[in-house]
Amino acid sequence: MAAVAESVRVPPPRESTAAKIGRTVAKSPLQILLVVIGLLWLVPTIGLFITSILPRSEITTTGWWRVFAHPSLATFSNYSTLFHQAGLTSALETTAIIAVGNTALVVVVGALAGYAFAWLEFPGRDWIFVGVIALLVVPLQMALIPMFRLYNTLGIGGTTLSVILFHAAFGLPFAIFLLRNFFIGIPKDILESARIDGANEFWIFLRLILPLGLPAIASLAIFQFLWTWNDLLVSLTFSVTTLNVWIFDQFRQFSQSIDIIAPASFFSLLVPLAVFFAFQRYFVEGLLAGSVK
Amino acid sequence: MSGASVTAEPPPKAAPPEPSEQGRSRYRTGALFLAPAFFLLGIWLVYPTIYTIIRSFFGQSGYLGTWVGTENYRTLFTTSTLVTAIKNSAIWVAVVPAFVAAIGLIFAVLIERVRWSVAFKTVVFLPMAISAFATGVTWRIMYQQDPNVGAINALSRSVHGAFSPAGVLPSAAPSTTSLQQAHGGAMVLKTPLHPGGVALLGLTGIAPQDLPKGAQQAVKPAAKSGAIVGTVWRDFKPGGGKPGVVERGELGIPGVTVELKGSSGKVLQTTSTDLNGTFDFATVPAGTYNAGIGAATFAHPFGGYSWLGPKLITPSLLIAYIWIWAGFSMVVLAAGLSAMPRDVLEAARTDGATEWQVFRRVTVPLLAPVLSVVFITMIINVLKVFDIVIALAPDSVQSNANVIALAMWRTAFSGNNDFGGGSAIAVFLFLLVIPVLLLNIRRFRREI
Amino acid sequence: MRGSRASRARAARLTAVAAVLAAVLAVAAGCGGSSNGSKTTTTSANTSVSGSVKFWGIWSAAEQTAFQKVIAGFNKQYPNVHVSYTSKGDNIPTILATAIAGGSPPDVADVAQPGLVKQLVQQGNLKPITYAQSTINANFSPAWAHLGEVNGKLYAILFKASNKSTLWYNVPVFKQAGVAAPTTWSQLLSDAKTIKASGTPAYSLCASSGWTLSDIFENIYLRLWGSAKYDQLSTHQIKWTEPSVTKAMQYMAKIIGDSSNITGGTSGALQTDFPTCVDKAFANPPAGGMVLQGDFVGLEILTATKAKAGTGFNVVPFPAITAGPDAQAVETGGDLIITFKDSPAIEAFVKYLATPQAAAIWARLGGFGTGVRNMPASVYPDAITRTTEAPLLGAKSVVFDLSDNQPASFGATTGQGIWGLFQKFLQNPSNTSSIQQQLESSATAAYKSGK
């Protein structure tokens, strides 16, 4: 098989130290401004974290920033109470199953379809592709009522499978769009020579397209994982208790549960944050594919 | 674009149908590859769209129910909560994409020149990883009106306090009708005074811990000829006491600025009260005077903006939402900027254009495709807003903060189970999104 | 293909994410989980009944912990029945409606609205609990058992009840103002005036939670007109546009009409939910003098503030307005246990909840009231609770919270119906006639649609 030449980025030319210092000094006001903006941007998240480590009486009567002056107020008791709440573990598991499951489904089905639109020939292919793009804008609200009824009729209401299929279907238009645009960038000769060698399309798909398409597939997977991990509406409608639904259920009149909701909300950030930090690079690449040529 | 011969940009042309065996098997392969996608799309997107459109013309319950024609749509445009939802969603669409694009662009341009742009991008992009629901909870905590609890109002209070500091006795009220509250908060004793007169200015509504330090038992001073004397005191003792009378157990208020006004209303003298509340205008020429306390003493501390109140709830939501999505816009635009051909910019600069002109005339137009991606994505997302509203807005303003997607869920699923009405709202939402769809298709076809 | 370094980096990242996921799950699983695996004791344990019971309830946080102990008590008698409790918060009417429409309701649920119970019975969704009749008759007064009946048939037990006709006050604030706890309406108003003059707003309202305002209205109406007329309004036999309602609202305006006598002012109160207003009234320094809400305030004061019973806070019955037998009538709210399915496990659980033992477990923890007969008031953990819950024990005459007795879309939905309209009333307390008309039209629509 022909090797693929990786696109290599040329590093910028090295500057002399003096020039570097000169540039840095000239940019100081800008740097300061950006640091301030960055810190401000973090304030809400920091506020959420601090709220989660304060006892309830402090949260409702004083500002969370007091903790910087009185660090002794902080306590992790809210978290230990949180983890003893029944239902949290299973909500977490359900969320994980749904997020991973639908992502896998979207990737596989989307890649198959993306390849078909990119490199397989059949009549009306590009028109059908336009049709799929059109589906991008269908709001999922359109499908809530009919699928609610359909699921009940089929008896799969309230199951994680019902939510997985729903998310996968709605992730498909974007997936197909993204992957098709990426696959099209694969040099034609590679595919042609493989076909001449007698390879069938499935082999080409598995051994050539998927490996080459990994960056786009990774971006897609991360987006889809994050979006479905953070979803509330769909799981709420289909009565499936994911983490967000569990938190939503804690909103309670008779006893303010901010001491449960705050730690739970912060806790629910951790997995998406971990995924985000680990795979930042792919976000940008994914966003670019299909938007900037 | 004409029928069968469609040209796609990189290589493959859709060849005219081949009668060969290889050709037919390719079509079969194509069908196989597409089958799972078509299955999912057909059942979850195409069928529901058709069903919901049809369903919107029928009644509340049942698979189809009873035909009601356009009644659901009429309800949609006449029910006040739904009309509010439509108005709010219009505001969202008008404001959010523009701000998100603008802020993202500014950030993208700024960080171009900085080394540690990745750190900045990470920080600003971070909110994208947080669920909109958790974001709602987070910002709700920040928006609390009480400046002691809500971060934003605490900040506003400090800013406000720097310009118009709170008075010493913000919650005070007169204890008798002889002390009148004038416009602006100042208090004036109605009864005119002459030299040798005694003025009693009794105040209530002051918590004992809010009295200035060192307050002592109030004293009614003896009249002094040629002077006007008086007391400012907390006219309250347990049980209330007699208003207007200085009694045992009632404390004077020290450090209050008392004004002596002439008959023209001009302030002639001022003095400050002692620890027992007494004050003394020692030499007063003959005439008629009024004693009073200036408005500054009663200036209310900044009570905080009602971010979570009916008027400001939508702007508050918009701010939180922009906080989430600015990062997305910044990253996309930064990538677009970095992919821009430098020579065009250099050429413009050497031609003598200023940075601003370069930005406006060259950079922005070149960024147009990327900007349109941001706009289109934001418009689609904004119409679907749901969780952030549910989490951020307290119950008392849910109807003021209502947006279309939330109204749809409430109508169809939250107790009312009005599937006809819910379908109508969903269809309406879809209609709003269709212009975006057409834009998208046009853009795409240009790229093919 | 990617270089080996890049793939190693990717592998490292994947491992890191997997590790975080695993750690998160492990921590959550470590402490989380059920607490109903109690050991069998020497008291007779019934091992023949087995099965599982899916219970959806309103109680979260501290209340949930308390109920888990009740379940543990149940498991001592029935160790082979697995009860799983899930909190759905106050979204329960919505969530139940969705689940029922979806064909997957729980086995047992607890709801706070008898109006909702009636609706569910009419839709044919509930199973009667007549098997528990004898247990209930043995432990409760007929009036109490009657609260769980629809059309004469037993469908629910009022398991956890609350006395909503109470008034909680900040003792130091009252002392500083030199006023005594009010027993009559005029005393309440004059106390409030004096407290305001002393420098603290008299009323701490939780107006963001609309039901707190409707509770105040209901207490005023009950004490103004008596329980018979209250019941008529409760079943919509008289209209909301009636003069009796007008007068009650005018009385209420005397409390809510002065923004400077409300903690945070009117707009601040509308952003303060329950129980934050309680926290504010008993904070240091206090931001309010009184909280006009039911017995659940006590639990909040004890858990979230530093105020102590007697020295920091105290409670009295809601002030009387009209003299007569109903001058001290009790308005109760509560949680009704209802069943959607029937099985030996469910029957055992429901019957257990009707016993004094079950009630005593939670009663001892506080924040719980019950109408169980012959229960000594000493089961309640402190003097305050005894004061508030004694009127319920063996109560012969109780009325149910009016708004809970309405169809859900009128009586128990955020931002609309009774809850939403009384919030509007707070914003404009002189606006009685317009609010009354809206109440009436909202009620009519709700009763017509049966929802």
Best of B82, B248, B396, B397 to substitute, by most chain C Cβ atoms within 10 angstroms, is B396
Report the C-alpha gap between A47 and A63 in whole angstroms: 9
Nearest CA in chain A to C16: A278
What pLDDT is attached to residue C396? 63
Kind of pairing, strands C51-57 and C108-111? parallel
Taking CB atoms and an 8 Å limit, are C28 and A211 in contact across chains? no
pLDDT in tens, B241-253: 888 888 888 999 9
Neighbours of B444 (CB within 10 A): 17
- Over residues C216-226, the mean pLDDT reads 93
Report the C-alpha gap between A198 and B299 in whole angstroms: 88
DSSP state of C429: T
- Over residues C305-332, the mean pLDDT reads 88
Q: Calculate the average pLDDT of chain A.
A: 81
Q: Does residue C398 contact residue C332 with C-beta atoms inside 8 Å? A: yes
B199 and B86 share a domain? Answer: no
Handedness of CA B347, B351, B356, B358 (dihedral sign): negative
pLDDT in tens, C189-215: 999 999 999 999 999 999 988 889 999
Helices B80-112 and A28-52 sit at what angle, rounded to 10 degrees? 140
What pLDDT is attached to residue A71? 82
pLDDT in tens, B107-139: 988 888 777 777 888 889 889 888 888 888 889
Best of B53, B121, B124, B133 to substitute, by most chain A Cβ atoms within 10 angstroms, is B133
Domain ranges, ordered by start, for chain A: 18-75, 83-288
In chain C, residues with a C-beta closer than 8 Å to the C-beta of A270 are: 20, 24
B contact residues 232-261, partner A, Cβ 8 Å cutoff: none
- Over residues C177-189, the mean pLDDT reads 94
C185 Cβ partners below 8 Å, 6+ apart? Answer: C223, C251, C319, C320, C321
What pLDDT is attached to residue C300? 82
Give CA separation, C339 vs C17, C57, C128, C137, C349, in Å.
43, 12, 7, 19, 11
Q: Calculate the average pLDDT of chain B.
A: 84
B279 and B317 share a domain? Answer: no
Q: Does residue B100 contact residue B381 with C-beta atoms inside 8 Å? A: no
Give CA separation, B158 vs B81, B308, C243, in Å.
37, 20, 49
Instruction: Pick the more confident residue, A127 or B5.
Output: A127
Comparing A155-159, B135-139, B215-219, B389-393, the range with the smallest average pLDDT is A155-159
DSSP state of B358: I
Q: Does residue C340 contact residue C126 with C-beta atoms inside 8 Å? A: yes
Q: How many domains does one find in chain B?
A: 2
Kind of pairing, strands B198-204 and B187-189? unpaired
- Over residues C316-337, the mean pLDDT reads 87
Report helix, strand and coil shares of chain C as percent, to nearest 5.
50, 15, 35
pLDDT in tens, B257-299: 999 988 887 888 888 998 988 999 888 888 888 888 988 888 8
pLDDT in tens, B186-198: 888 888 888 888 9
Which residues, listed in sequence order, are joined to residue B217 by a DSSP beta bridge? B251
Above 70 in pLDDT, residue C224? yes
Report the C-alpha gap between C277 and A256 in whole angstroms: 11
Which residues, listed in sequence order, are joined to residue C166 by a DSSP beta bridge? C317
- Establish if B178 touches chain C: CB-CB under 8 angstroms: no
* Residue B311 belongs to domain spanning: 72-151+307-408
Describe the strand order of the beta sheet including B267-272 as a list of residue ranges: B179-181, B187-189, B290-293, B257-261, B267-272
Identical fold for domains C51-163+331-400 and C166-328+422-449, yes or no, is yes
How many inter-chain contacts (B to C, CB under 8 Å) are there?
Answer: 99
Taking CB atoms and an 8 Å limit, are B48 and A293 in contact across chains? no
Above 70 in pLDDT, residue A10? no
E strand or H helix that includes residue C38: none
Burial class for A69, CB neighbours closer than 10 Å (0-12, 13-18, 19+): exposed
Instruction: Pick the more confident residue, A259 or C11.
Output: A259
B246 and B354 share a domain? Answer: no
B contact residues 414-433, partner A, Cβ 8 Å cutoff: 419, 422-423, 425-427, 429-430, 433
What pLDDT is attached to residue C3? 43
The DSSP string of B43-69 is IIIIHHHHHHHHHTTB-SSSSS--B-T
Residue B94 lies in a domain: yes
Q: Does residue C206 contact residue C272 with C-beta atoms inside 8 Å? A: yes
Above 70 in pLDDT, residue C105? yes
Comparing A25-34, A183-192, C136-145, C357-366, the range with the smallest average pLDDT is A25-34
Describe the strand order of the beta sheet including C313-317 as a list of residue ranges: C290-291, C166-170, C313-317
Nearest CA in chain B to C116: B415
Comparing B282-286, B303-307, C172-176, the range with the smallest average pLDDT is B303-307
Report the C-alpha gap between A175 and A220 in whole angstroms: 7
B337 and B266 share a domain? Answer: no
- Over residues C408-427, the mean pLDDT reads 86
What pLDDT is attached to residue B371? 85
Nearest CA in chain A to B1: A127
What pLDDT is attached to residue A253? 46
Cis omega before residue B435 (within 30°)? no
What pLDDT is attached to residue A78? 85
Taking CB atoms and an 8 Å limit, are B238 and C98 in contact across chains? no
- Establish if C178 touches chain B: CB-CB under 8 angstroms: yes
Question: What proportion of chain B, given as a percentage, has pLDDT over 70?
Answer: 92
Instruction: Categorize the per-residue pLDDT at A9 as very low, low, confident or very high, splitting at 50, 70 and 90.
Output: very low
Instruction: Pick the more confident residue, B100 or A122.
Output: B100
ipTM of the complex: 0.80
Domain ranges, ordered by start, for chain C: 51-163+331-400, 166-328+422-449
Instruction: Pick the more confident residue, C24 or C160.
Output: C160
Residue indicated by tokens 């091992």: C47
CATH number at residue B261: 2.60.40
- Among C159, C163, C138, which residue's Cα sits nearest to residue C70? C159
What pLDDT is attached to residue C26? 56
B87 and B180 share a domain? Answer: no
How many inter-chain contacts (A to B, CB under 8 Å) are there?
Answer: 311
Taking CB atoms and an 8 Å limit, are C194 and B240 in contact across chains? yes
Above 90 in pLDDT, residue C252? yes
C102 Cβ partners below 8 Å, 6+ apart? Answer: A148, A151, A152, A157, A158, A238, A239
- Over residues A54-64, the mean pLDDT reads 78
C98: closest CA of chain B, how far (Å): 6
C274: closest CA of chain B, how far (Å): 11
- Over residues B300-309, the mean pLDDT reads 81
What pLDDT is attached to residue A177? 87
What is the third-level CATH fold of A83-288?
MetI-like fold (1.10.3720)
Above 70 in pLDDT, residue C226? yes
Above 80 in pLDDT, residue C134? yes
Best of A98, A137, A164 to substitute, by most chain B Cβ atoms within 10 angstroms, is A137
Give CA separation, C148 vs C71, C106, C173, in Å.
21, 19, 41
Global pTM reads: 0.78
B221 and B259 share a domain? Answer: yes
Which chains touch B (3+ CB pairs under 8 A)? A, C
- Establish if C25 touches chain A: CB-CB under 8 angstroms: yes
Q: Between B144, B308, B395, which is nearest C415 by CB?
A: B395
What pLDDT is attached to residue C41? 41
C contact residues 367-406, partner A, Cβ 8 Å cutoff: none
In chain B, residues with a C-beta closer than 8 Å to the C-beta of A169 are: 40-41, 43-45
Assigned token pair, A212: 């080459």
pLDDT in tens, B214-234: 889 998 999 888 889 999 999
E strand or H helix that includes residue C381: none
Instruction: Pick the more confident residue, B404 or B433.
Output: B404
B294 and B314 share a domain? Answer: no
B188 and B99 share a domain? Answer: no
- Over residues B417-426, the mean pLDDT reads 87
Question: What proportion of chain C, given as a percentage, has pLDDT over 70?
Answer: 88
B137 and B231 share a domain? Answer: no
pLDDT in tens, C107-127: 999 998 888 898 899 889 999
pLDDT in tens, A229-254: 999 989 988 888 899 888 888 775 43
C103 Cβ partners below 8 Å, 6+ apart? Answer: A152, A155, A157
- Establish if C273 touches chain A: CB-CB under 8 angstroms: yes
Instruction: Categorize the per-residue pLDDT at B7 as very low, low, confident or very high, splitting at 50, 70 and 90.
Output: very low
Q: Calculate the average pLDDT of chain C.
A: 85
- Over residues C50-71, the mean pLDDT reads 88
Residue indicated by tokens 């005694």: B198
Instruction: Categorize the per-residue pLDDT at C450 as very low, low, confident or very high, splitting at 50, 70 and 90.
Output: low
In chain A, residues with a C-beta closer than 8 Å to the C-beta of C276 are: 60, 256
Q: Between A126, A202, A258, which is nearest B6 by CB?
A: A126
- Among C264, C427, A257, A46, which residue's Cα sits nearest to residue B146? C264
What pLDDT is attached to residue C274? 82
Instruction: Pick the more confident residue, C144 or A114.
Output: A114
- Among B325, B117, B172, which residue's Cα sits nearest to residue A35? B117
Give the angle subtended at the CA of A120 by the CAs of A118 and A122, to the nearest 5°.
115
In chain B, residues with a C-beta closer than 8 Å to the C-beta of A226 are: 128-129
Above 60 in pLDDT, residue C329? yes
CATH number at residue B345: 1.10.3720.10
What pLDDT is attached to residue C200? 93
Instruction: Categorize the per-residue pLDDT at C43 as very low, low, confident or very high, splitting at 50, 70 and 90.
Output: low
Which residues, listed in sequence order, are joined to residue B189 by a DSSP beta bridge? B179
What pLDDT is attached to residue C352? 94
Q: Does residue A286 contact residue A216 with C-beta atoms inside 8 Å? A: yes
What pLDDT is attached to residue C175? 93
CATH class, range C166-328+422-449: alpha beta
Q: Does residue C136 contact residue C109 with C-beta atoms inside 8 Å? A: no
What pLDDT is attached to residue B312? 92
What pLDDT is attached to residue A283? 63
What pLDDT is attached to residue C407? 82
Assigned token pair, B204: 């209530």
A229: closest CA of chain B, how far (Å): 8
Burial class for A12, CB neighbours closer than 10 Å (0-12, 13-18, 19+): exposed
Q: Between C35, C103, C280, which is nearest A152 by CB?
A: C103
The DSSP string of A98-110 is HHHHHHHHHHHHH
Please determine, looking at this structure, whether the domain spanning C51-163+331-400 carries the CATH number 3.40.190.10. yes
Report the C-alpha gap between B277 and A74 in whole angstroms: 43
Give CA separation, B287 vs B193, B294, B355, in Å.
8, 21, 70
Instruction: Categorize the per-residue pLDDT at A19 as very low, low, confident or very high, splitting at 50, 70 and 90.
Output: low
Question: What proportion of chain A, given as a percentage, has pLDDT over 70?
Answer: 85
Report the C-alpha gap between C298 and C21 in whole angstroms: 40
Report the C-alpha gap between A164 and A176 in whole angstroms: 18
Instruction: Pick the more confident residue, A80 or A59.
Output: A80
Report the C-alpha gap between A23 and A8 in whole angstroms: 27
C198 Cβ partners below 8 Å, 6+ apart? Answer: B204, B207, B208, B236, B238, C173, C176, C177, C178
- Establish if C162 touches chain B: CB-CB under 8 angstroms: no
Report the C-alpha gap between A244 and A229 in whole angstroms: 9
Assigned token pair, B152: 């934003």
What pLDDT is attached to residue C27? 53
Burial class for B134, CB neighbours closer than 10 Å (0-12, 13-18, 19+): buried
Length of chain A: 293
Dump strand ranges (E) for C80-137.
81-87, 108-111
Instruction: Categorize the per-residue pLDDT at A167 as very low, low, confident or very high, splitting at 50, 70 and 90.
Output: very high
A66 Cβ partners below 8 Å, 6+ apart? Answer: A58, A73
